[in-house]
Structure 1
Amino acid sequence: MDNATDSIIHKTIRTEFKDCTVITVAHRIPTVMDCNMVLGISDGKLVEYDEPMKLMNKKGSLFGQLVQEYWSRSANNAATL
C-alpha cells in the first residue's frame, strides 16, 4: 500500500473510531507513533509494552531500535534522491 492510501486509512480510523479501542498491527513506524501504547513482539514473545515515546527513550528498547533504523533509512533514501 502506498503512503498516501495508508495515511487516509489511518486518518479515517482515528476519526471514526476515536472512542473505541483499536488494535493496529503495523510494520511502518509512523503508523504507530500516535498510538497510546505500543506492544513489541520478538520471536513470538512479548518484549515490551508502553507509550511510544517512553519506549523510544528506554535504553535497549526494541521499538527504540526500530525507530532509529526507520529514520536512518528514511534519511539515507532522501539523500539519494
Structure 2
Amino acid sequence: MVKITPLHLYRIRKYYGLTLIQMGEVLGISDTYVSAMEVGREPVTENVQRRVNEAFNLTTNRLRAITIHYREHIEPFDRYKGKVKR
C-alpha cells in the first residue's frame, strides 16, 4: 500500500478533476472530512489510505506520475496553492 499524505490526497483529487464532494463519494466519506484531511486538521487514516489506493489503483510509480503532472500542469494555476498542508 502506498502511503498517502494530506498533500498526496489533494494532488490526487486535483489530478482527477474531482470536487471535494465527488472525492468523498469515491471514498465513502464526507466532503468536509476530505477537506479536513487535505489541510491537515485530520489525519489520513490507514483506512482512508487503503480506500485511496484501491479507488485509484495506486502504485509508487503512479503516485510519482500524478505528482509530476500536478507540479507541471496544475500547480501553476492552482489558486489554493499554499493552503494545503505539505
Structure 1-normalised TM-score? 0.28
Greater RCO (CA < 8 Å, at least 6 residues apart): 2
Larger strand percent:
1
Higher Rg of the two aligned structures: 1
Question: Larger helix proportion, structure 1 or 2?
Answer: 2
